[in-house]
Amino acid sequence: MERFQCAFARIWLTDTHQQALTLVASSGLYTHTNGSFAHVPMGAYKVGKIAQNRVPFLSNYLPDEIWVKDRDWAIANRIQGFAGYPLMAGDRVLGVLAAFSHEALVPEFLEVLQMLCLTTTIALDAALQSQKTVPHMLLQSGAMVLSDQLAKTLTSTQLMLVGTERDLPASTAYALLRGVELLTQLDCSYCRLTYAERAVSLDAIALFPSNTSNNPIDQPAAFFSELQLIALWLGGTLSTQPNPKDRVFELTLTLPYVPEPEHLSVLVQCQQPVLQMAFTHLSLKAGLSLSNAPSSIGDGSVTQVVLLTDRLDVPTSHSPIIWIQHSHRGRVPIAVQAVVTLDILPQQLYAVVTQVAKGQAIKTLPQRVSPGLSEREQEIMQLLSQGFRDRDIAKRLHVSESTVRFHVKNTLTKLNAKNRYQAVYEATSRDWI
């Protein structure tokens, strides 16, 4: 924000009935959240219109705008620019983020706001959804013990309790409750909560419904992906052992008795806007906290932040550096501690950040999937990518045209491609040719 000479920024959130917005955060020139704009009716002033119409807005003549309530205030405080962006989660409006500046704002600033709104919306929506799904008993100490709540949530089987119950952090209790909520969507025939010496675990046996569609519910790993991330963040494990033959699978969620972990912080600084947005979203999905400043040293203490960047000229920093390699022919900068590729998963990113934050360098690239193409198939794909026809390829490789078509057909199957052009694209994008 300082780069664009912003005087202050504010966030309004919509109420449950979508009738008004409430000012919940303000930084910069003004930090209070009361005053005449603490509550804005939907459609009123520019903030209310942005929420109502869902259209980003930028103006560099704030004092001259007819919708400005206090023109003298804008002149006295040298407020020239205004930019607002709706906070959208699907088709829902969560609120509005607005910035006020002393200088004229470039049109590209709306792209900056879009990125900020993306991260803000993800965090807000996650918090709102957690408020809906975390049972009310978590908000009232002693209202109901965890095993009772789990037993009440289960509908198809009876909960077994092993060991003496003990107080758990809210995050651990939420993970166990979320696991049971997911199991109730399936046919759960067995569920056991165990308080062991060092960890609490949830063991279950469930049956996936017969579903011939491509719904993720057919795949335990995909269905429980959210729970997998929660377990990873809490330092625990989640395993599912499916039996495709009879659709029965076993689930084990194990969470250690440890205090709630501190959030790992990352600073995403990518030259390419699309990578900036992608890795910002990926970091949040992995349960990482976003920072707007690198690691700093002061008073003998270090604020540790891991830097995620795609820059070749990696800046000098106290932060450990993870380099995003988007071209496998690129040269890895010497200063980085780890390298990740574009196909990295959230849980993998979390693991890499954790290792780097502990000072463990990972100098080698993650193992790439073996292409599974024979040497002849790679040769043919290479020639196809250069524009050669089957007849020309056959002459160059001293084989028949039918042999070329045979290898092309096999390649289409292996790459799950509909035609040879898509196959060439897939093979090239995976750096196989």
d(CA 352, CA 148): 38
- The pLDDT mean for the chain works out to 78
Residue 130 pLDDT > 50, yes or no? yes
User: 165 with 146: CB under 8 angstroms?
Assistant: yes
Give pLDDT, residue 365: 46
CA distances from 73 to 63, 169, 230, 421 (A): 8, 48, 47, 61
Taking 60 as the threshold, does the pLDDT of residue 24 lie above it?
yes
Query: What burial class does residue 197 get, using C-beta atoms within 10 Å of its C-beta: 0-12 exposed, 13-18 middle, 19+ buried?
Result: exposed
pTM above 0.75, yes or no: no
Integer Cα distance of 10 and 286 in angstroms: 27
What's the mean pLDDT in 56-85? 86
User: Regarding beta strands 187-195 and 159-162, do their DSSP bridges make them parallel or antiparallel, or are they unpaired?
Assistant: parallel
E runs forming strands in 90-157: 92-101
- Predicted pLDDT at 341: 84
Q: Alpha carbon of 220 to those of 126, 157, 186, 240, 250: distances in Å?
A: 22, 19, 11, 7, 10
User: Domain containing 186 — which CATH number?
Assistant: 3.30.565.10
Task: Tell me if 367 is assigned to some domain.
Answer: no
- What is the mean pLDDT of the segment spanning 355-378? 66
Query: Which pLDDT value is given to residue 254?
Result: 92
- Tell me how far the alpha carbon of residue 74 is from its chain's centroid: 38
- Whole-angstrom distance between the N-terminal and C-terminal Cα of the chain? 43
Domains contained in the chain, number: 4
Nearest-angstrom CA–CA distance, 218 and 212: 8
280 and 312 in a single domain? The answer is yes
Highest mean pLDDT among 47-61, 132-146, 209-223, 282-296: 47-61
Look up residue 330 and give its amino acid: G
- The CATH number covering residue 401 comes to 1.10.10.10
Q: Which of 2-11, 112-121, 411-420 has the lowest mean pLDDT?
A: 112-121
Same domain, yes or no, for 173 and 129? no
On whether both 11 and 124 belong to a single domain, the answer is yes
**Rounded CA gap, 363 and 96, in Å?**
42
- 226 has pLDDT over 70: yes
Residue that is last in its domain, among 256, 283, 304: 256
16 lies in the same domain as 118: yes
Q: What tokens were used for 54?
A: 């869902």
* Domain identity same for 328 and 288: yes
Residue count (the chain) = 433
- Residue 204, strand partner residues: 191, 251
Q: Is the pLDDT of residue 384 over 70?
A: yes
Share of the chain above pLDDT 90, in %: 5
Residues 245 and 269 reside in one and the same domain: no
Q: Are 113 and 82 in contact (CB under 8 A)?
A: no
Residue range(s) defining the domain that contains residue 68: 2-133
Q: Decide if 309 contacts 270 (C-beta within 8 A).
A: yes
Q: Is the pLDDT of residue 106 over 50?
A: yes
Residue 366 falls inside a structural domain:
no
What's the mean pLDDT in 266-272? Answer: 87
pLDDT at 201 over 90: yes
pLDDT at 315: 66
Q: Which of 227, 256, 285 is the last residue of a domain?
A: 256
Counting residues of the chain whose pLDDT is more than 70, the rounded percentage is: 80
Q: Do both 246 and 282 map to the same domain?
A: no
Which pLDDT score is estimated for 129?
63
Residue 229 backbone phi and psi in degrees, to 5: -65, -40
pLDDT band at 263 (very low <50, low <70, confident <90, very high): low
Q: Taking residues 344-366, what's their average pLDDT?
A: 75
Which pLDDT score, from 0 to 100, does residue 220 have?
A: 65
What pLDDT does 372 receive? 62
Indicate whether 162 belongs to any domain. yes
- Round to whole Å and give the CA distance between 282 and 239: 22
Q: Is 39 helix (H, G, I), strand (E, B) or coil?
A: strand
> Residue 152 domain-assigned?
yes
Per-residue confidence band for 301, with pLDDT thresholds at 50, 70 and 90: very low
Residues 63 and 149 in one domain: no
Q: What is the pLDDT of residues 386-432, one digit of tens each?
A: 778 888 888 888 888 888 888 888 888 877 777 887 787 677 666 66
Q: Which sign does the torsion angle of CA 36, 41, 42, 43 carry?
A: negative
* Residue after which a domain boundary falls, among 98, 133, 168: 133
Q: Would you state the structure tokens that stand for residue 402, as one six-digit string?
A: 């039918």
pLDDT confidence of 302, banded at 50, 70, 90? very low
- Tell me what pLDDT residue 202 has: 93
Residue 138 covered by a domain = no
Q: Please say if the pLDDT value at position 87 is more than 80.
A: yes
More confident site: 249 or 262: 249
Residue 350 Cα distances to 220, 254, 266, angstroms? 21, 18, 10
In the predicted model, is pLDDT for residue 206 greater than 80?
yes
Kindly state the tokens that stand for 348. 């993998």
Report if residue 113 sits inside a domain.
yes
Is the same domain home to 110 and 7?
A: yes
